[in-house]
Amino acid sequence: MPVAGSRSGAELRSRFQAGEPLSWNFVRAYNRLRLSLPPSLGGRTVLLAFEGSYTFTPLARSAISDIAESRAAS
Amino acid sequence: MRDTVPFQVTDLNAAVPEGVPFRWHGMELSTGSLAFKLDRAWQSFGVMDYGARKVSVRYHVALESPALIASFCALGVARDMVAPLRAVLDAEGGILDDHGFDGGIRGRCEIGDVGLLAPGERILAEVLPGS
């Protein structure tokens, strides 16, 4: 869920396209992590709800090639 | 306006307050509260593709559990065996009209080496789509 205040989705998109950072909240009832532990830690699989936020900061269009290189390296 | 916008993940703060129960050497333990932060040893990038209405992102994540470290230190376990876990999450999601993501951002997570595990063992993790 975007941290939007009173801004519409179209306005958020426009601002992001113009280079403004945008944040989203994790929604505890919605975002889930499934974790499977190996036998030495008991072998359980658990479903976890998480909360918090994250922020994306737009880069110049030319950064796309840098991203591809970064992904290949990691 | 740009239809494809590359971006850097500049902040990540996620938590699992209740932690994860696990068994270790016959003892029932819990990780305590888990905190997920950006692994600053790497940069985390993604692409917002408005034409395809899709976002894809690779998060480099450090998973910290202060309570677990304290518990293991009290048991005499070397601190480097419970050092912060490093993980890579490749995630994607559909872009909605409100600029949220359809089903949330979801994807598989590769978790780095964990000192507590037996050779060849791995922890498997996946961020599931919302329902």
Distance from CA of A69 to the nearest CA of B (A): 11
Q: What are phi and psi of B54, to 5 degrees?
A: -145, 140
* pLDDT reading at A60 higher than 90: no
Whole-angstrom Cα distance, residue A50 to residue A8? Answer: 26
Higher pLDDT pick, B105 / A37: A37
* pLDDT reading at A49 higher than 60: yes
* pLDDT reading at B13 higher than 90: yes
pLDDT tier for residue B10 given thresholds of 50, 70 and 90:
very high
* B52 near A CB under 8 A: no
pTM for the full predicted model: 0.86
Mean of the pLDDT values across residues B95-105? 84
* pLDDT reading at B59 higher than 70: yes
Interface contact A17-B42, CB threshold 8 A: no
* pLDDT reading at B131 higher than 60: no
Distance from CA of B65 to the nearest CA of A (A): 14
DSSP string covering A2-34: B--TT--HHHHHHHHHTT--EEEEE-TTT-EEE
* B111 near A CB under 8 A: no
Please tell me the predicted confidence (pLDDT) of residue B58. 93
Please tell me the predicted confidence (pLDDT) of residue B81. 67
The nearest alpha carbon in chain B to A15 belongs to B1
Whole-angstrom Cα distance, residue B91 to residue B107? Answer: 4
Please tell me the predicted confidence (pLDDT) of residue A74. 66
